[in-house]
Chain A
């Protein structure tokens, strides 16, 4: 059937600069550029271009420009170009439109409507370059009371403490599975996490055996609905175990790793045959109600000898504060909440763009709900879904989160340009692909250094912002909504987030 869809990107090549080195041809896995030996020039097929900018960055002559094409349709506020073309594709194929990355639609970004406080006169701001600024925090359950026995100055702690993760900065790497991303990308995340005093999350893909000894201590391993790669050794080599109930990009539905991406190594780690589609069912088929979740949580605690905190990851949807409360009462030590803008390697676009609620609204209402029930101490909250900069992190903590997970940010640090073609397995940057030719392009040394740089830069910026507020410990920022004000928000939005408007 002839396609009626227009190309999204146009390649403009400066023929005078181009030296016909064919580098762009080698760089592009989509087959956009081909060399014509007769004319001795490179020919580009706009229809194939994903707009990932790889050829542009790597052209030694800077001869290529890749630009989004302007919409060829008459302006129509309801029938946008994207709506029209998605419709046409479905008419052509009868299939579900898949995509990668996170929600790109213009839902309000609340981070950009919240402003921070600074101290003046009545309270000195603290200079993080000179005075200690503490970002260390603990993720896990805390007791309500700490009982001690004192004997002539010697203090003995009597309360039994739950296991907690210690992070030196409130930034953790979000779950991105080996399979969805390449081995090198996965290993870069692990390396950077260990270097920066934080943790990475294995996602549903398991943790390859050769990485367990070195990186296990910085790993949060996931138990997802497909139960891939899970054995007792996997659980015990890590620092925490996370039950994945849902994720922000595709709440309510399962995951689908296409067979093309299930290479031999992926298969061995996930313990499924190579080349098969790796399906994660929508629910955990042993969790049909909250008491089943409680049973799984305690099963994992038993399996890990009660030595590791158990986290439950849920997507932020409508009644999730009640679900969150249930999860805490079911015994979870950490709740990870993933908002509307969470990313993914592959999801149906309709689900990605339409299901879920923004994380900013979610954090506050979950925090408040748990406090109203008096159980906020029993878990830590990790927020995820579109954290783009250090200011977002400060705001997230002030709204009530203990820490944040970054996914998309980490990928961008490694080179991703959000072309949203992750589901094809043809990532030219070597990140979201299993093709060894492509995956080999990502150097673990360089990528892990870039990730560690990012964490360092953001940690320092967070210190600066906290210092400006007159706070020198992250513990004093958590839930401290007094330091936030909203700008350009409706009354109900201020209400949900529990913050005042600027000037109030």
Chain B
């Protein structure tokens, strides 16, 4: 399938990459039992000093059981004023209605009195694809991705920031615990997986779209670190139709995960070896079969190697995955307690919500730690 990126290119490559230093946290109940966001809000607040209040966000899985067969689009309409935001919604709505059947939509509930600054208009739509003409041959998910890329690049001030089934992202400018309170995540939602991010961007012009998590369909990514290979990764992904518009390097991880896991159907163990491959010295010493596999992976997918310090938590339906760069320049602690599986930048936050733990460890660089639902419904 040929993709045409119609991203308006201002002069040359004038994308500004924001740099992220921050905290991440994830909690999953592997039996599929759902819980509110109160615990993870407490955990991320404990790592308050790792952020600077300029961004926070959550991804939650299993929150829309009554609409679980529809794609839940979360939209952010930005702009300097309420009128500008409504105008963006008026530009977006017709496009949505033309390309999708909208089952239900409403503004995402939030508190009015809160400490978040200058919030955009945030709306959710539950949709199914309405494919016409040539598009009818496309698989649903490719169709949706193409439409999302169109919205994000062509419709001013409108951004689709969550688009999976029975899951959703909530993010903005503020400390993560403030964002959690703003969207009432401790009261309104129950999820079997929560991932959270608190941000410390070094570009002071923070904006709501730039917070983590980054998501596409049901893949979400929260990320601590900086991707020094961003330019290379971005060039490669743009060839496959992914427009990197949200000015944050984390975007490439979400799109790489979508490309490799959903479209190319590679298992997560191999995807981890693409994003964080072992060093050549180690590969050269492996047995023939492994050596051939890893050499081929590096040869074919070299431009998707994520260089630079990172620890990430990838969320997907039924899975939560933690991964660090191959020389572990960023911390990640993993822990289990019964069915609960935790990932965190610091152990203390896990202990705060679960003082007793069955096991605690720090995974090796480049080796993914994967939590899966025991019974996949």
Q: What separation, in Å, do the CA atoms of A155 and B239 have in the docked complex? A: 27
Check if A150 sits within 8 Å of B307, measured CB to CB.
no
Total A-B residue contacts, Cβ distance less than 8 Å? 128
Check if A478 sits within 8 Å of B232, measured CB to CB.
yes
Residues of A within 8 A of B19 (CB): 122-123
Check if B308 sits within 8 Å of A470, measured CB to CB.
yes
* Contact status of A137 and B308, CB under 8 A, knowing A122-B202, A499-B13: no
Beta-carbon contacts of B12-24 to A below 8 Å, as 1s and 0s?
Answer: 1110010101000
Q: Which residue of B lies closest to A495 (CB)?
A: B12
**What's the least CB distance linking B190 to chain A, in Å?**
34
Q: What separation, in Å, do the CA atoms of A371 and B303 have in the docked complex? A: 13
* Contact status of A122 and B13, CB under 8 A, knowing A161-B296, A469-B228, A471-B229: no
Residues of A within 8 A of B11 (CB): 491, 494-495
Q: What separation, in Å, do the CA atoms of A157 and B264 have in the docked complex? A: 13
* Contact status of A476 and B292, CB under 8 A, knowing A137-B302, A142-B300, A498-B13: no
Check if B309 sits within 8 Å of A476, measured CB to CB.
no
A to B CB contacts below 8 Å, 19 in the list: A119-B228, A142-B299, A142-B300, A145-B264, A148-B267, A371-B235, A371-B238, A374-B240, A376-B235, A471-B307, A475-B305, A476-B232, A476-B305, A477-B229, A477-B232, A480-B228, A495-B11, A495-B12, A500-B14
**What's the least CB distance linking A217 to chain B, in Å?**
18
Q: Which residue of A lies closest to B281 (CB)?
A: A132
Tell yes or no: B327 within 8 A of A by CB.
Answer: yes
Residues of A within 8 A of B229 (CB): 471, 475-477, 480
**What's the least CB distance linking B39 to chain A, in Å?**
30
* Contact status of A479 and B235, CB under 8 A, knowing A123-B309, A148-B270, A495-B11: yes
Residues of A within 8 A of B232 (CB): 475-480
Tell yes or no: A488 within 8 A of B by CB.
Answer: no
Tell yes or no: B293 within 8 A of A by CB.
Answer: yes
Check if A150 sits within 8 Å of B267, measured CB to CB.
yes
List CB contacts (< 8 Å) of A130-148 with chain B.
131-132, 134, 136-138, 142-143, 145-148
Tell yes or no: B226 within 8 A of A by CB.
Answer: yes
Check if A475 sits within 8 Å of B267, measured CB to CB.
no
Check if A479 sits within 8 Å of B228, measured CB to CB.
no
Beta-carbon contacts of A106-146 to B below 8 Å, as 1s and 0s?
Answer: 00000000000001011110000001101011100011011
List CB contacts (< 8 Å) of B213-238 with chain A.
225-226, 228-232, 235-236, 238
Closest 4 CB pairs of A and B: A476-B229, A475-B302, A476-B307, A480-B231
**What's the least CB distance linking A117 to chain B, in Å?**
9
Q: What separation, in Å, do the CA atoms of A483 and B235 have in the docked complex? A: 14
List CB contacts (< 8 Å) of B70-88 with chain A.
none
List CB contacts (< 8 Å) of A460-493 with chain B.
469-473, 475-483, 491
Q: What separation, in Å, do the CA atoms of A482 and B239 have in the docked complex? A: 18
Residues of B within 8 A of A479 (CB): 231-232, 235-236, 303
Residues of B within 8 A of A470 (CB): 226, 228, 307-309
Q: Which residue of B lies closest to A469 (CB)?
A: B228
Known A-B contacts: A157-B296, A483-B228. Give 6 more (CB < 8 A).
Answer: A161-B300, A472-B327, A473-B307, A476-B232, A477-B229, A477-B232
Tell yes or no: A164 within 8 A of B by CB.
Answer: yes
Tell yes or no: A286 within 8 A of B by CB.
Answer: no
List CB contacts (< 8 Å) of B333-372 with chain A.
none
Tell yes or no: A377 within 8 A of B by CB.
Answer: yes
The interface of chain A, by Cβ under 8 A from chain B, is 119, 121-124, 131-132, 134, 136-138, 142-143, 145-148, 150, 155, 157, 161, 164, 371, 374, 376-377, 469-473, 475-483, 491, 494-495, 497-500, 504
Residues of A within 8 A of B95 (CB): none
**What's the least CB distance linking A122 to chain B, in Å?**
4
Q: Which residue of B lies closest to A376 (CB)?
A: B239
Q: What separation, in Å, do the CA atoms of A281 and B104 have in the docked complex? A: 72
Tell yes or no: B103 within 8 A of A by CB.
Answer: no
Check if A499 sits within 8 Å of B12, measured CB to CB.
yes
Residues of B within 8 A of A483 (CB): 228, 231
> Which of A137, A147, A374 meets B3, CB within 8 Å?
A374
Beta-carbon contacts of B271-312 to A below 8 Å, as 1s and 0s?
Answer: 000000001110000000000110011111111011111000
Check if A482 sits within 8 Å of B293, measured CB to CB.
no
Tell yes or no: B138 within 8 A of A by CB.
Answer: no
Tell yes or no: B2 within 8 A of A by CB.
Answer: yes
Check if B12 sits within 8 Å of A482, measured CB to CB.
no
**What's the least CB distance linking A494 to chain B, in Å?**
6
Check if A498 sits within 8 Å of B21, measured CB to CB.
no
Residues of B within 8 A of A155 (CB): 270, 293
Tell yes or no: B329 within 8 A of A by CB.
Answer: yes
Check if B264 sits within 8 Å of A146, measured CB to CB.
yes
**What's the least CB distance linking A328 to chain B, in Å?**
13
Q: Which residue of A lies closest to B326 (CB)?
A: A472
Check if A132 sits within 8 Å of B302, measured CB to CB.
no
Q: What separation, in Å, do the CA atoms of A129 and B12 have in the docked complex? A: 36
**What's the least CB distance linking A113 to chain B, in Å?**
15
Q: Which residue of B lies closest to A134 (CB)?
A: B280
Check if B228 sits within 8 Å of A123, measured CB to CB.
yes
Tell yes or no: B266 within 8 A of A by CB.
Answer: yes
* Contact status of A131 and B327, CB under 8 A, knowing A146-B266, A470-B226, A495-B12: yes
**What's the least CB distance linking A276 to chain B, in Å?**
44
Residues of B within 8 A of A377 (CB): 239
Check if A143 sits within 8 Å of B300, measured CB to CB.
yes
